[in-house]
Amino acid sequence: GENVEQHPSTLSVQEGDSAVIKCTYSDSASNYFPWYKQELGKRPQLIIDIRSNVGEKKDQRIAVTLNKTAKHFSLHITETQPEDSAVYFCAASMGQAGTALIFGKGTTLSVSS
C-alpha cells in the first residue's frame, strides 16, 4: 500500500552542526512533498514543501531536495539551533483520490548547546 519511510527516527547534533533527514515514498504519482515540525504538545506546522517539478528548494537555513527517479526526498537544516529541537515529519501526497497526505513516522531532532 501507500507508504512513506523516514530515517533516522532520532537525531542528536551539536548546535551549529547540520542535520539531514531522509524519506522515501512508494507512489510514483506523488507530486507534493511537505515537511512539518511538531513541538511537544503542539500542532504540526509546515516548514517547507516541494513539488514534483522542482529538484531543490531553500528557505534560509532549511532546504529540501527531491529525486523523483529514486522516489526519495531529504530535509537539510544548517547551523542548527536549540529551538530547532522538535519532531519533524515528511509527507507525500497519495491515496485513493491522490490527494491525501501520508506521513512518515517522524524524526526526533535534539540540538544541544
62 - beta bridge partners?
59, 77
Is there a contact between 100 and 1 (Cβ–Cβ < 8 Å)?
Answer: no
Site stretch for another protein (CB under 8 A), options 13-21, 61-69, 70-78, 95-103: 95-103
> Which residues from 37-76 bind another protein, rule CB under 8 A?
42-46, 49, 51
Distance CA(94)–CA(24), nearest Å, equals 13
- Whichever of 50 and 77 has its CB closer to another protein, that residue is 50
Q: Phi/psi of residue 78, each to 5°?
A: -100, 160
Report, in Å, the least distance between residue 75 CB and another protein. 15
Name which position in 23, 35, 106, 111 contacts another protein (CB under 8 A): 106
